[in-house]
Amino acid sequence: KAENVGMVASMSLVNGVATYEDKRLDNGVVVATTANLPELTNQTVDFGEFLTDHDEGRFFAVIGPGVAEQLFGENVPIGKSIDFRGQRFTVKGVMTKFDSTPLVSGIDFNNSVFISYATGKALSEGNAQVVQILVKPAEAEGVDRTQASIESALLQTHGGQQDFSVLKQDETISAAGNILTILTALVAAVATISLVVGGIGVMNIMLVSVTERTQEIGIRKAVGATNHQILMQFLVESMVLSLAGGALGVLLALVINFVLRVTTSLEPVLSPIVIVVAMLMSLVVGVIFGVVPAMKAARKHPIDALRFE
Protein backbone atom coordinates (compact mmCIF):
# COMPACT_ATOMS: atom_id res chain seq x y z
CA LYS A 1 0.00 0.00 0.00
CA ALA A 2 1.30 3.46 -0.95
CA GLU A 3 2.04 5.93 1.84
CA ASN A 4 0.85 9.52 2.33
CA VAL A 5 -1.94 9.17 -0.26
CA GLY A 6 -4.75 11.65 0.27
CA MET A 7 -7.09 11.82 -2.72
CA VAL A 8 -7.12 9.52 -5.77
CA ALA A 9 -8.93 9.73 -9.12
CA SER A 10 -8.66 7.05 -11.80
CA MET A 11 -9.40 7.55 -15.47
CA SER A 12 -10.08 4.85 -18.05
CA LEU A 13 -11.01 5.15 -21.71
CA VAL A 14 -14.07 3.13 -22.69
CA ASN A 15 -14.31 2.11 -26.34
CA GLY A 16 -17.49 3.02 -28.18
CA VAL A 17 -19.38 5.96 -29.68
CA ALA A 18 -21.91 8.00 -27.74
CA THR A 19 -25.05 9.05 -29.63
CA TYR A 20 -28.07 11.26 -29.13
CA GLU A 21 -31.01 10.59 -31.45
CA ASP A 22 -29.41 10.70 -34.93
CA LYS A 23 -26.21 12.48 -33.86
CA ARG A 24 -22.89 10.75 -33.15
CA LEU A 25 -20.02 11.93 -30.99
CA ASP A 26 -17.31 11.39 -33.60
CA ASN A 27 -14.92 13.91 -32.09
CA GLY A 28 -14.78 12.85 -28.46
CA VAL A 29 -14.10 10.09 -25.93
CA VAL A 30 -15.87 8.40 -23.04
CA VAL A 31 -13.93 8.50 -19.78
CA ALA A 32 -14.72 6.34 -16.76
CA THR A 33 -13.63 8.18 -13.64
CA THR A 34 -14.32 8.87 -9.99
CA ALA A 35 -16.23 11.64 -8.23
CA ASN A 36 -13.19 13.65 -7.10
CA LEU A 37 -11.76 14.23 -10.59
CA PRO A 38 -12.84 17.92 -10.75
CA GLU A 39 -11.05 18.70 -7.49
CA LEU A 40 -7.81 17.11 -8.70
CA THR A 41 -7.91 18.80 -12.12
CA ASN A 42 -9.32 22.18 -11.04
CA GLN A 43 -12.46 21.68 -13.12
CA THR A 44 -15.87 23.15 -12.40
CA VAL A 45 -19.38 22.30 -13.50
CA ASP A 46 -21.21 24.91 -15.57
CA PHE A 47 -24.67 23.31 -15.41
CA GLY A 48 -25.97 20.61 -13.10
CA GLU A 49 -23.47 18.64 -11.01
CA PHE A 50 -20.61 16.19 -11.39
CA LEU A 51 -20.75 12.49 -10.65
CA THR A 52 -20.99 11.47 -7.00
CA ASP A 53 -20.04 8.31 -5.12
CA HIS A 54 -23.70 7.29 -5.25
CA ASP A 55 -23.52 7.22 -9.06
CA GLU A 56 -21.03 4.33 -9.08
CA GLY A 57 -22.49 1.54 -11.22
CA ARG A 58 -25.41 3.72 -12.35
CA PHE A 59 -26.07 5.19 -15.78
CA PHE A 60 -25.40 8.89 -15.32
CA ALA A 61 -23.07 11.04 -17.42
CA VAL A 62 -21.44 14.44 -17.26
CA ILE A 63 -20.36 15.95 -20.56
CA GLY A 64 -17.86 18.53 -21.72
CA PRO A 65 -19.04 21.72 -23.47
CA GLY A 66 -17.78 20.42 -26.81
CA VAL A 67 -19.94 17.30 -26.46
CA ALA A 68 -22.94 19.43 -25.50
CA GLU A 69 -22.49 21.49 -28.65
CA GLN A 70 -21.98 18.47 -30.92
CA LEU A 71 -24.94 16.45 -29.67
CA PHE A 72 -27.42 19.01 -28.34
CA GLY A 73 -26.61 22.28 -30.09
CA GLU A 74 -28.26 25.20 -28.29
CA ASN A 75 -30.57 22.96 -26.24
CA VAL A 76 -29.96 22.40 -22.52
CA PRO A 77 -28.78 18.78 -22.18
CA ILE A 78 -29.53 18.33 -18.46
CA GLY A 79 -31.97 15.45 -18.01
CA LYS A 80 -31.64 14.26 -21.59
CA SER A 81 -30.27 10.83 -22.42
CA ILE A 82 -27.36 9.69 -24.55
CA ASP A 83 -26.86 6.13 -25.73
CA PHE A 84 -23.56 4.32 -25.26
CA ARG A 85 -22.77 0.63 -25.69
CA GLY A 86 -26.42 -0.36 -25.55
CA GLN A 87 -27.17 1.62 -22.40
CA ARG A 88 -28.97 4.92 -21.90
CA PHE A 89 -27.16 7.50 -19.77
CA THR A 90 -28.92 10.49 -18.22
CA VAL A 91 -26.94 13.73 -18.50
CA LYS A 92 -26.65 15.32 -15.07
CA GLY A 93 -24.02 17.97 -15.70
CA VAL A 94 -22.03 20.02 -18.22
CA MET A 95 -18.45 21.00 -17.44
CA THR A 96 -17.14 24.54 -17.74
CA LYS A 97 -15.03 25.04 -20.84
CA PHE A 98 -11.38 24.23 -20.29
CA ASP A 99 -9.11 26.79 -21.94
CA SER A 100 -6.48 24.15 -22.74
CA THR A 101 -6.09 20.39 -22.63
CA PRO A 102 -5.12 19.36 -19.08
CA LEU A 103 -1.87 17.50 -18.60
CA VAL A 104 -3.67 14.19 -18.20
CA SER A 105 -2.63 11.88 -21.00
CA GLY A 106 -3.78 14.35 -23.61
CA ILE A 107 -7.49 13.80 -22.94
CA ASP A 108 -9.55 16.72 -24.18
CA PHE A 109 -11.96 17.31 -21.31
CA ASN A 110 -14.03 19.68 -23.45
CA ASN A 111 -14.93 16.76 -25.73
CA SER A 112 -15.30 14.01 -23.14
CA VAL A 113 -18.24 12.11 -21.68
CA PHE A 114 -17.61 11.23 -18.03
CA ILE A 115 -19.26 8.15 -16.52
CA SER A 116 -18.61 6.45 -13.19
CA TYR A 117 -15.57 4.21 -12.94
CA ALA A 118 -17.60 1.17 -11.89
CA THR A 119 -20.02 1.65 -14.79
CA GLY A 120 -17.19 1.95 -17.31
CA LYS A 121 -15.50 -1.14 -15.93
CA ALA A 122 -18.74 -3.12 -16.19
CA LEU A 123 -19.37 -1.98 -19.77
CA SER A 124 -15.81 -2.96 -20.71
CA GLU A 125 -16.21 -6.34 -18.96
CA GLY A 126 -13.26 -5.48 -16.75
CA ASN A 127 -10.98 -4.56 -19.67
CA ALA A 128 -11.15 -0.76 -19.42
CA GLN A 129 -7.79 0.82 -20.28
CA VAL A 130 -6.50 2.87 -17.34
CA VAL A 131 -4.79 5.90 -18.84
CA GLN A 132 -3.93 7.72 -15.64
CA ILE A 133 -4.34 7.75 -11.88
CA LEU A 134 -4.19 11.17 -10.24
CA VAL A 135 -2.98 11.28 -6.65
CA LYS A 136 -2.95 14.14 -4.16
CA PRO A 137 -0.62 13.54 -1.19
CA ALA A 138 -2.09 13.81 2.28
CA GLU A 139 0.87 16.01 3.26
CA ALA A 140 2.30 18.41 0.68
CA GLU A 141 5.85 18.14 2.02
CA GLY A 142 5.88 14.37 1.46
CA VAL A 143 5.51 14.40 -2.33
CA ASP A 144 8.81 12.65 -3.05
CA ARG A 145 8.10 9.98 -0.46
CA THR A 146 4.63 9.45 -1.91
CA GLN A 147 6.03 9.15 -5.43
CA ALA A 148 8.53 6.49 -4.37
CA SER A 149 5.88 4.62 -2.39
CA ILE A 150 3.43 4.58 -5.32
CA GLU A 151 6.12 3.37 -7.71
CA SER A 152 7.05 0.56 -5.33
CA ALA A 153 3.41 -0.49 -4.92
CA LEU A 154 2.81 -0.50 -8.68
CA LEU A 155 5.95 -2.56 -9.29
CA GLN A 156 4.58 -5.22 -6.98
CA THR A 157 1.18 -5.10 -8.69
CA HIS A 158 2.77 -5.37 -12.16
CA GLY A 159 5.01 -8.26 -11.23
CA GLY A 160 8.18 -6.19 -11.21
CA GLN A 161 7.66 -4.93 -14.77
CA GLN A 162 7.90 -1.13 -14.98
CA ASP A 163 5.45 -0.52 -17.83
CA PHE A 164 4.24 2.71 -16.23
CA SER A 165 5.58 6.06 -15.08
CA VAL A 166 5.00 7.98 -11.87
CA LEU A 167 5.40 11.71 -12.39
CA LYS A 168 5.00 14.72 -10.16
CA GLN A 169 3.13 17.73 -11.49
CA ASP A 170 6.30 19.73 -12.10
CA GLU A 171 7.80 16.78 -14.00
CA THR A 172 4.68 16.53 -16.14
CA ILE A 173 4.83 20.25 -16.91
CA SER A 174 8.54 19.96 -17.72
CA ALA A 175 7.90 17.02 -20.07
CA ALA A 176 5.11 18.95 -21.81
CA GLY A 177 7.44 21.95 -22.13
CA ASN A 178 10.14 19.79 -23.71
CA ILE A 179 7.66 18.38 -26.22
CA LEU A 180 6.48 21.91 -27.05
CA THR A 181 10.09 23.03 -27.55
CA ILE A 182 10.77 20.15 -29.94
CA LEU A 183 7.57 20.84 -31.89
CA THR A 184 8.44 24.54 -32.09
CA ALA A 185 11.90 23.68 -33.43
CA LEU A 186 10.43 21.32 -36.03
CA VAL A 187 7.90 23.92 -37.17
CA ALA A 188 10.66 26.54 -37.38
CA ALA A 189 12.82 24.17 -39.45
CA VAL A 190 9.96 23.42 -41.85
CA ALA A 191 9.15 27.13 -42.14
CA THR A 192 12.80 27.97 -42.89
CA ILE A 193 13.03 25.30 -45.57
CA SER A 194 9.75 26.52 -47.08
CA LEU A 195 11.03 30.11 -47.18
CA VAL A 196 14.27 29.06 -48.89
CA VAL A 197 12.47 26.89 -51.44
CA GLY A 198 9.95 29.67 -52.11
CA GLY A 199 12.76 32.21 -52.44
CA ILE A 200 14.61 30.03 -54.94
CA GLY A 201 11.38 29.75 -56.92
CA VAL A 202 11.00 33.54 -56.97
CA MET A 203 14.63 33.96 -58.06
CA ASN A 204 14.27 31.45 -60.91
CA ILE A 205 11.10 33.14 -62.16
CA MET A 206 12.81 36.53 -62.10
CA LEU A 207 15.89 35.18 -63.91
CA VAL A 208 13.65 33.84 -66.66
CA SER A 209 11.86 37.19 -66.78
CA VAL A 210 15.17 39.06 -67.13
CA THR A 211 16.23 36.80 -70.00
CA GLU A 212 12.91 37.16 -71.83
CA ARG A 213 12.92 40.97 -71.41
CA THR A 214 16.52 41.58 -72.42
CA GLN A 215 15.53 43.74 -75.40
CA GLU A 216 13.15 45.74 -73.19
CA ILE A 217 16.07 46.41 -70.85
CA GLY A 218 18.20 47.51 -73.81
CA ILE A 219 15.51 49.92 -75.02
CA ARG A 220 15.08 51.44 -71.56
CA LYS A 221 18.81 51.96 -71.21
CA ALA A 222 19.01 53.41 -74.71
CA VAL A 223 16.47 56.09 -73.79
CA GLY A 224 18.30 57.01 -70.60
CA ALA A 225 17.39 54.55 -67.82
CA THR A 226 20.21 54.10 -65.31
CA ASN A 227 21.47 50.84 -63.82
CA HIS A 228 19.89 51.80 -60.51
CA GLN A 229 16.48 52.32 -62.13
CA ILE A 230 16.66 48.93 -63.88
CA LEU A 231 17.76 47.26 -60.65
CA MET A 232 14.91 48.83 -58.68
CA GLN A 233 12.37 47.88 -61.36
CA PHE A 234 13.16 44.17 -61.14
CA LEU A 235 13.64 44.26 -57.39
CA VAL A 236 10.17 45.75 -56.93
CA GLU A 237 8.72 43.13 -59.28
CA SER A 238 10.37 40.41 -57.18
CA MET A 239 8.91 41.91 -54.01
CA VAL A 240 5.42 42.11 -55.55
CA LEU A 241 5.66 38.48 -56.70
CA SER A 242 6.75 37.35 -53.23
CA LEU A 243 4.03 39.41 -51.52
CA ALA A 244 1.43 37.85 -53.82
CA GLY A 245 2.60 34.41 -52.70
CA GLY A 246 2.43 35.49 -49.07
CA ALA A 247 -1.09 36.84 -49.54
CA LEU A 248 -2.21 33.54 -51.07
CA GLY A 249 -0.67 31.72 -48.10
CA VAL A 250 -2.55 33.93 -45.63
CA LEU A 251 -5.79 33.41 -47.56
CA LEU A 252 -5.27 29.63 -47.47
CA ALA A 253 -4.62 29.81 -43.71
CA LEU A 254 -7.87 31.75 -43.21
CA VAL A 255 -9.80 29.16 -45.22
CA ILE A 256 -8.29 26.27 -43.21
CA ASN A 257 -9.03 28.17 -39.99
CA PHE A 258 -12.68 28.56 -41.01
CA VAL A 259 -13.04 24.91 -42.06
CA LEU A 260 -11.60 23.68 -38.75
CA ARG A 261 -13.97 25.91 -36.78
CA VAL A 262 -17.00 24.65 -38.73
CA THR A 263 -16.17 20.94 -38.94
CA THR A 264 -14.46 20.36 -35.57
CA SER A 265 -14.55 21.62 -32.00
CA LEU A 266 -11.14 23.22 -32.45
CA GLU A 267 -10.91 27.00 -32.31
CA PRO A 268 -7.64 27.94 -34.04
CA VAL A 269 -6.68 31.60 -33.81
CA LEU A 270 -4.94 33.52 -36.58
CA SER A 271 -3.89 36.79 -34.99
CA PRO A 272 -3.26 39.98 -37.01
CA ILE A 273 0.34 40.00 -35.76
CA VAL A 274 0.95 36.61 -37.40
CA ILE A 275 -0.46 37.90 -40.69
CA VAL A 276 1.72 41.03 -40.55
CA VAL A 277 4.84 38.97 -39.77
CA ALA A 278 4.04 36.57 -42.62
CA MET A 279 3.73 39.42 -45.10
CA LEU A 280 6.94 41.05 -43.83
CA MET A 281 8.79 37.74 -44.23
CA SER A 282 7.43 37.47 -47.78
CA LEU A 283 8.75 40.96 -48.46
CA VAL A 284 12.18 40.07 -47.07
CA VAL A 285 12.31 36.89 -49.19
CA GLY A 286 11.42 38.94 -52.26
CA VAL A 287 14.26 41.38 -51.57
CA ILE A 288 16.91 38.76 -50.78
CA PHE A 289 16.17 36.43 -53.66
CA GLY A 290 15.38 39.24 -56.08
CA VAL A 291 18.78 40.93 -55.78
CA VAL A 292 20.65 38.53 -58.12
CA PRO A 293 18.14 38.78 -61.02
CA ALA A 294 17.87 42.56 -60.55
CA MET A 295 21.67 43.00 -60.63
CA LYS A 296 21.89 40.78 -63.69
CA ALA A 297 19.35 42.99 -65.45
CA ALA A 298 21.08 46.22 -64.38
CA ARG A 299 24.50 45.09 -65.63
CA LYS A 300 23.35 44.32 -69.17
CA HIS A 301 25.02 46.47 -71.83
CA PRO A 302 22.39 48.34 -73.88
CA ILE A 303 23.91 47.42 -77.27
CA ASP A 304 24.21 43.72 -76.40
CA ALA A 305 20.69 43.77 -74.97
CA LEU A 306 19.24 45.30 -78.15
CA ARG A 307 20.97 42.64 -80.29
CA PHE A 308 19.66 39.79 -78.10
CA GLU A 309 17.16 37.47 -79.75
Q: Which of 166, 193, 227 is the last residue of a domain?
A: 166
The number of C-alpha atoms within 13 Å of 91 and in the hemisphere containing its C-beta is 27
Q: Which of 150, 166, 182 is the last residue of a domain?
A: 166
Most confident by average pLDDT, 19-28, 233-242, 261-270: 233-242
Q: Are residues 132 and 149 in the same domain?
A: yes
Alpha-carbon distance values, 172 to 154, 169, 177, 276 (Å): 19, 5, 9, 35
Asked if pLDDT for residue 163 goes beyond 70, the answer is: no
Q: Are residues 213 and 157 in the same domain?
A: no
Q: Do 7 and 37 contact (CB within 8 A), yes or no? A: no
pTM of the model: 0.60
Q: Are residues 200 and 150 in the same domain?
A: no
Q: What is the rounded average pLDDT of the residues 26-38?
A: 88
pLDDT at 276: 92
Burial 92-131 (b: 16+ CB within 10 A, else e): bbbbeebeeebebeebbbbbbbbbbbebbbbbbeeebeeb
Asked if pLDDT for residue 142 goes beyond 80, the answer is: no
Q: Are residues 83 and 182 in the same domain?
A: no
Burial 15-39 (b: 16+ CB within 10 A, else e): ebebebeeeebeebbbbbbbbbbbe
Strand partners, 56: none
Helix (H, G, I), strand (E, B) or coil at 32: strand
Q: Are residues 132 and 201 in the same domain?
A: no
- Domain assignment of residue 291, given as a range: 174-307
| 156 confidence band (pLDDT: 50, 70, 90) | confident
The number of C-alpha atoms within 13 Å of 123 and in the hemisphere containing its C-beta is 27
Q: Which of 166, 197, 213 is the last residue of a domain?
A: 166
Angstrom distance (rounded) from CA 53 to CA 63: 17
Q: Are residues 157 and 208 in the same domain?
A: no
Query: How many domains does the chain fold into?
Result: 2
Asked if pLDDT for residue 189 goes beyond 90, the answer is: yes
pLDDT at 104: 53
Q: Which of 58, 55, 59, 75 has its CA nearest to residue 67?
A: 75
Residues contacting 81, CB < 8 A, separation 6+: 20, 88, 89, 90, 91
Q: Are residues 156 and 27 in the same domain?
A: yes
Q: Are residues 36 and 66 in the same domain?
A: yes
Q: Are residues 16 and 143 in the same domain?
A: yes
pLDDT at 270: 81
The number of C-alpha atoms within 13 Å of 165 and in the hemisphere containing its C-beta is 8
